Structure 1
């Protein structure tokens, strides 16, 4: 359930884009009403989807705060990035900014993991997971590096899809492709860690 909740803005972006694309006249009218004149019919779906995602992220944070009376730093960072890149897309009527948003988020996460480990000797992956599993120090280091590399690779893949394929393909990838790659990475990580968890237990 938490996994779906975390994906709420992405799911809403996808659904809004598809609905707006299936109703181009209504989408153009709504986009023009919200954002002013000069919007092409082909731009309306992604502009409306971007606006919906910004609203969804605010609602997501509000729901988390109401339930727990605190919000994780990662959610605040996600909000800041969607407001900056999504806001630029809406202001300039240019989808390039929202297409860069996932890459900016991935690369930020990757950079934080690498810099924390190299500059401050803090393994953030270990800090998040150490209460659940016990691993040798070397494995924690490789795990942190693997996540950093994964985020950097995901940022590159996002740009490749955004600039090599149609906008609709990128929207589909944003939900299904990126989520699928994340799940595949987590499963591969689980197989790798299971061996070391057993060794540590023995």
Structure 2
């Protein structure tokens, strides 16, 4: 339910853009994001820090997009958010010697420190690639192509990165845990 709720503003943005254009789509995106945050707070009692950052960026850049009727503001948001995530992961790993991916997943999964560092670096590179692809598409393709990329391309890229991460993590699972996962958890 929580994951579906996170996609609703994006879906509404895409539909509204196709039907009515960028200004209306940006307004719908901002309103849907505010409603989404209210529902998350009501249903789960708290809003995660990453969700707050994303919602703030969506609201700020969405309002600029609506006011100026110019999609470039939302395009910048995607670039800046991906750059921010990459920088945070890299600074945490190289400056503070703490891979943030381990902080997110370390309670559920036990990996060697080198594996956490590799995974953290991989996600930082992923966010940089997303940033660069976004820049390329926003500057060299049509507005409609960018909306399609934002709505579906980034989700596809994230799914692929998640599958690659899962395959990488799987190599480090203890053999009895791997067999348990293959059997569907049945003993």
1:23 corresponds to = none
Does structure 2 conserve the Cα–Cα contact (< 8 Å) formed by 1:134 and 1:200?
no
Question: What is the CA-CA distance between 1:101 and the residue it aligns to?
Answer: 1.2
TM-score of the aligned structures, taking structure 1 as reference length: 0.82
Does structure 2 conserve the Cα–Cα contact (< 8 Å) formed by 1:124 and 1:144?
yes
How big is each residue's C-alpha offset from its partner over 1:135-172, in whole Å with a ceiling of 9 and x where there is no partner? Answer: 11100000011111101110110111111111111111
1:10 corresponds to = 10
How big is each residue's C-alpha offset from its partner over 1:66-99, in whole Å with a ceiling of 9 and x where there is no partner? Answer: 0122110011101221122222222223221111
1:137 corresponds to = 113
2:126 corresponds to = 150
Does structure 1 conserve the Cα–Cα contact (< 8 Å) formed by 2:83 and 2:128?
yes
2:93 corresponds to = 117
TM-score of the aligned structures, taking structure 2 as reference length: 0.89
CA distance in 2, matches of 1:74, 1:106: 12
CA distance in 2, matches of 1:75, 1:129: 17
CA distance in 2, matches of 1:4, 1:161: 26
Note if 1:19 corresponds to 2:19.
yes
CA distance in 1, matches of 2:94, 2:13: 36
Alignment of 1:23-172 (within 5 A): 45-172=21-148
Q: Decide which of 143, 161, 167 is 1:191's aligned counterpart.
A: 167
Deviates more, 1:117-126 or 1:171-180: 117-126
Backbone CA RMSD of aligned residues: 1.7
CA distance in 1, matches of 2:125, 2:175: 25
Does structure 2 conserve the Cα–Cα contact (< 8 Å) formed by 1:8 and 1:56?
yes
CA distance in 1, matches of 2:58, 2:156: 22
In structure 2, list runs of 5 or more residues that go unmatched.
Answer: 179-187
Relative distance call for 1:14 and 1:200 in structure 2 (3 A) is same
